Amino acid sequence: MTNDCYQLFIDDLRDPVSSSWVIARTSAEAVAMLETRGCPCEISFDDDLWGDDTAMVVVKRPIEIDLDAAGRFIPANFAFSVHNANPLGRENIEGLLRSYLHHRAHQGPG
């Protein structure tokens, strides 16, 4: 895994406003990106991907890797946003990531 700062945009249809974002169209593409390039500095999520695919698969993977790496996978300056209109999907993504990052900041990854 490399440790470069990049921005990951996860969406099955839309394109990011800026060309600086790396695009993943499926959760499998996004997870592969995480596992080969490392954790990005920023992720923008669309919860509803194609068919039954959702971004929750992607949300869980960096947390799992970070736990295994004793908090050294997700960068300290990590940021995320959810750019979809599904309120439940938004709440699920934000809730899980915020809870984990809060826990890590106050008690450590383990």
Give the C-alpha separation, 42 to 78, whole Å.
Answer: 6
Residue 67, both tokens: 């736990």
Q: How far apart are CA 44 and CA 71, in angstroms?
A: 21
- How crowded is the C-beta side of 82, counted as CA atoms within 13 Å? 23
Q: How far apart are CA 68 and CA 89, in angstroms?
A: 26
Going from N- to C-terminal start, the domains of the chain cover 7-107
Tens of pLDDT, residue by residue over 3-41, are 578 999 999 999 998 999 999 999 999 999 999 999 999
Per-residue model confidence as pLDDT tens digits over 53-92: 989 999 999 999 999 999 999 999 999 999 987 889 899 9
- Number of helices (H) and strands (E) in the chain: give both, helices first: 3, 4
Q: How confident is the model at residue 110 (pLDDT cuts 50, 70, 90)?
A: low
pTM of the full structure:
0.90
Sheet holding 21-24, edge to edge: 21-24, 7-10, 42-45, 79-82
At 109, is the pLDDT very low, low, confident or very high (cuts 50, 70, 90)?
A: low
- Report the CATH fold assignment for 7-107: Rossmann fold (3.40.50)
pLDDT of residue 9: 97
